[in-house]
Amino acid sequence: MELNINNKTYSVDVEPTASLLTVLRDYLDLTGAKYGCGEGACGACTVLVDGQPARSCITPISSLIHKRITTIEGLTSDGKLHPVQQAFIDNDAFQCAYCASGMVMTAVALLERYSSPTDEQIRNFMNGNICRCGTYPRIVRAIKSVKTT
């Protein structure tokens, strides 16, 4: 089966019911998306599918034919950090940072939808992402600091 990940075509020989998360992490060595719950309830595994945030742990690869998948590894271009990544660093919006990949990916999709989101829009959109360290207010601040063009 062929998957389009970060504008690259990957051929994988895995059963079609396999989750995208397993395929990314264990077969393609793209370990930026994290396992946190396996039921789509924590957001650590978030990737973008055609620009929309998707929980890769509950997304079977069979549903991804002809879809465009973006992972955290595909966010930097020419070694330059995405403005959301930079904002997370500038605002120290992480502690253990295990949630950071999923947070960044969801925030990227959020800013696609709302160019200058309100606190409430941020809280609603990001609510599926858990930061067990409790860095939420700082993450909100980081997202608000991103200048979208």
Least separation, in Å, of the C-beta of 69 and another protein? 14
Among positions 42, 54, 109, 146, the unique one binding another protein when judged by CB under 8 A: 42
CB of 119 to another protein, least distance (A): 9
Pattern 59-88, binding to another protein, x per CB under 8 A?
------------xxx-xx----x---x--x
Q: DSSP class of residue 77?
A: B
Closest distance to another protein from the beta carbon of 117 (Å): 12
Helix axes 83-90, 100-113, angle to 10 degrees: 120
Q: Are strands 2-5 and 46-49 parallel, antiparallel or unpaired?
A: unpaired
User: Residue 63 Cβ, how far from another protein at the closest point, in Å?
Assistant: 17
Q: How far apart are the C-alpha atoms of 43 and 128, rounded to whole Å?
A: 6
User: In sequence order, what are the residues at sequence separation of 6 or more whose Cβ sits closer than 8 angstroms to the Cβ of residue 52?
Assistant: 109
What residues contact 121, with CB distance under 8 A and at least 6 apart?
110, 114
Interacting residue ranges for another protein, rule: CB under 8 A: 14-15, 18, 22, 25-27, 29-39, 41-42, 44, 71-73, 75-76, 81, 85, 88-90, 92, 94-101, 104, 122-124, 126-127, 129-140
